[in-house]
Amino acid sequence: MRFNLLQIVLLIVLVIIPDIARSQTGPVKKRYKKGTIQLQNRQSYTGEGLVFDSGQLTFMDTKDSQPVTFPLDDIKYIKAQTGSYALESALIGAALAGLSVALAYAEAGSDPFKEVKEERIPIVVGVFVLGGAGIGALFKKEKVIFKDNKFVTDIFIRNENLTACKGYNVTSVGIRLNISL
């Protein structure tokens, strides 16, 4: 099945429209399990059960277990926990297990006195995958979701009046790469 350029562009637009709309208005009753909140006055909180609703953030402060609410105008940034690396680590474990099995077959093929005990392959693969998932679950993913009074998204729309284009309004859609070093 061949796609022409218009179909591809239409598919991309349909996929990113919800993200674009959310980036302009903010999440509607969006919840995060855990996060770090820094206010404009540099006061910092660690909270659980972060809920965005009606231009404010409500969460349970982990220090004194009290609910706290701040208007979004008072917040400098919010870094929320968005999951863990369990899936990625399980995939790495599966790749390493596959490599180990392939190397065992290669060695058994080159040496007539060695053999692969095939009944042990599922055990080896399982140990690698579960070990990788367990290690990945220890490391949490975090993402800045709110910064400088704006919701952070990886997809954005920018409308500019460019004098280089004879004063025409130019709208561009782009993808922002967030790189942490």
Does residue 35 lie within any of the structural domains? yes
Q: What is the DSSP string of 27-67?
A: -SS-EEEEEEEEETTS-EEEEEEEEEETTEEEEEETTT--E
pLDDT at 99 over 60: yes
> How many domains is the chain partitioned into structurally?
2
Amino acid at 173: V
Q: Are residues 67 and 99 in the same domain?
A: no
Range of the domain at 116: 86-137
Q: How far apart, in whole angstroms, are the C-alpha atoms of residue 145 and residue 153?
A: 7
Q: Output the pLDDT for position 90.
A: 92
Residue 68 inside a domain? The answer is yes
Pair (54, 128) in one structural domain: no
Question: Does residue 99 form part of some domain?
Answer: yes
pLDDT per residue as tens digits for the range 41-72: 989 999 998 888 878 889 999 998 899 999 98
Residues 72 and 14 in one domain: yes
Residues 80, 90, single domain; the answer is: no
The residues, any chain, with a CB within 8 Å of residue 142's CB and separated by 6 or more, are 36, 79, 80, 81, 82
Residues 109 and 155 in one domain: no
Same domain, 105 and 73: no
DSSP-H helix ranges across the chain: 5-25, 86-110, 121-137
Statement: residue 179 has pLDDT above 70: no
Domain for residue 181, yes or no? no
**What local confidence, expressed as pLDDT, does residue 151 receive?**
76
Which pair of tokens denotes residue 119?
A: 């009944």
> By the 8 A CB rule, do 74 and 58 touch?
no
pLDDT at 94 over 60: yes
Same domain, 154 and 73: yes
**Residue 25 shares a structural domain with residue 102:** no
As a whole-number percent, the residues of the chain with pLDDT over 90 amount to 24
Task: Answer yes or no: is 180 within a domain.
Answer: no
User: Do 110 and 91 belong to one domain?
Assistant: yes
pLDDT of residue 13: 64
Helix (H, G, I), strand (E, B) or coil at 153: coil
